[in-house]
Structure 1
Amino acid sequence: MSGQGQRLTVVPTVTMLGVMKARLVGATRGHALLKKKSDALTVQFRSILKKIVSTKESMGEIMRNSSFALTEVKYVAGDNIKHVVLESVKSASLRVRSRQENVAGVKLPRFEHFVDHGAGDAKSDLTGLARGGQQIQACRVAYVKAIEVLVELASLQTSFLTLDEAIKTTNRRVNALENVVKPRLENTINYIKGELDELEREDFFRLKKIQGYKKREIERQQQAAKNFAEEQYAEKISLKKGISINSAHNLLTCLDVTLREDAYSSSFHGDFPLLFVAYGSITMGV
């Protein structure tokens, strides 16, 4: 799909991760709402299509009856009846008005007819008084019915075209959210999570290295302090015994090794604490 492998160019931070998650939630809700809107428009679209088919089927019969009624009028009253009717009528009494109908946020135009009784002329009612008056009134009723069907068909076809365009636009938005926006946000969220995990691993490794360095530094300082203490103690022994510092170091080393061996062998006979007392008395008496 077009959204796979793509992501937004963002800085991988915790704040941006929250922003991307919020945008993903909004895109998911918008996708669900647009999907419901598309379904509602599709249902209305199919309903209008059925009405158009039925209206067109009935329109043929109505137009045939009106044409046949006009033929009867011309046969009874003569061909000059058209001019007589036009002279007797000053303004149209059957009018058309428009209104808007809201369907799932889409405004559909609706046309409806109505009779304006004030616009009619009383002289038109006397048309055909000499001959053919009944056929003229029947023809008038037939053509009024035909006009009603034509107005209804015009309203349905206009709503049909408007709904068709609205459904196409809604479906394009649904597909864009489903195949582009949501995958891009998901890829961005996965990228930010991966970068944050990598930073966390780097911080953990850095802390371990710092702890190891501190531990080695402490051990080095302790060893230096121990060496300094042994050096000071060796100098005291050399001064008291009148021997060299190297001989004092050797003496301390021999005493330390001997005491370690005796402590190991005496630990099985319960004399281990006594050796430390002896070692303390030897070192203090040296």
Structure 2
Amino acid sequence: MAELLNVKPTRMELLNLKRRIQLAKKGHKLLKDKQDALVMEFFTIYDEALQLRRELNLKMKEAFEAIQMAEIELGTLRLKEISLSVKPNREVEILKRNVMGVSVPMIEAESFKRSAVERGYAFVSSSARVDTAAEKFEEVLDLAVRLAEVEETLKRLAKEIEVTKRRVNALEYIIIPRMEATVKFIKQRLDEMERENFFRLKRVKALIAARG
């Protein structure tokens, strides 16, 4: 109410407020549409993330089973020696892309799958079980990179949805109602002023008529 008392009850102020309400309502609709689109995009990517997580869990299980079999066959010491001769994996490059106005990561990386020669360890000192274990862990890396990209995208979309939701609610429940209440207040004050002017004018006419 204190804010209403500070408003000048003029027709110019009334017109300005009405224009601001129209703009606020347009902005509210645009933000609401953006929020709905973000939510749809979020759940589309969320389904992909769930699928990737299930695949990753399965691949990790297979990879650890494979490395256990290789360890049983070659022994822990020999397996460690082979692992030390493995060449580093290819590097990944983290870029950015735009999803519904939100900047999200895009990981550029070739598949981590390699041949035994590319891995760097010697055939004679290794075995087929080591190759299998290596393949399984390379599959894990491929999925992990993809999942990291998707889950970070989800985090950023969720944050943007929350920010957009707060703006939508602020416009819908605070800003627009407050401006509409101010418009109502100005209209009431203008009506009161018109009535006061009418009675004042009527009184002046009555005084003039009495003197005549």
Shared fold per TM-score greater than 0.5:
yes
Instruction: Indicate the residue corresponding to 1:260 in structure 2.
Output: none
1:33 maps to a residue whose letter is L
Equivalents in 1 of 2:120, 2:45: separation in Å? 41
The answer as to 2:164 corresponding to 1:166 is no
Deviates more, 1:21-30 or 1:137-146: 137-146
Instruction: Indicate the residue corresponding to 1:104 in structure 2.
Output: 100
TM-score by length of 1: 0.65
Instruction: Indicate the residue corresponding to 1:146 in structure 2.
Output: 140
Equivalents in 2 of 1:126, 1:112: separation in Å? 24
- Which residue of 47, 53, 56 corresponds with 1:56? 53
Equivalents in 1 of 2:200, 2:93: separation in Å? 78
8 A contact 1:96–1:111 mirrored in 2: yes
8 A contact 1:7–1:184 mirrored in 2: no
Superposition deviation, residue 36 in structure 1: 0.9
Structure 1: segments with no counterpart, 5+ residues: 221-286
8 A contact 1:76–1:131 mirrored in 2: no
1:87 maps to a residue whose letter is S
The answer as to 2:39 corresponding to 1:24 is no
CA RMSD of aligned residues (A): 2.7
Instruction: Indicate the residue corresponding to 2:11 in structure 1.
Output: 14
CA offsets, 1:84-140, max 9 Å, x none? 332352xx2322222223222221223342269xxx9x9755624215444333332
Instruction: Indicate the residue corresponding to 2:79 in structure 1.
Output: 81
Tell which has more relative contact order, 1 or 2 (C-alpha 8 A, sep 6+).
2
8 A contact 1:110–1:155 mirrored in 2: yes
8 A contact 2:85–2:121 mirrored in 1: no
Superposition deviation, residue 148 in structure 1: 1.0
Equivalents in 2 of 1:179, 1:7: separation in Å? 17
Equivalents in 1 of 2:135, 2:164: separation in Å? 43
Structure 2: segments with no counterpart, 5+ residues: none
Sequence identity of aligned pairs in percent? Answer: 30
Superposition deviation, residue 28 in structure 1: 0.8
1:237-256 aligned within 5 A = none
- Which residue of 72, 95, 98 corresponds with 2:69? 72
TM-score by length of 2: 0.85
CA gap 1:69/1:6 in 2 versus in 1, 3 angstroms: farther
CA offsets, 1:204-253, max 9 Å, x none? 22222223333333xx3xxxxxxxxxxxxxxxxxxxxxxxxxxxxxxxxx
2:91 maps to a residue whose letter is R
SS in 2 for 1:130: coil
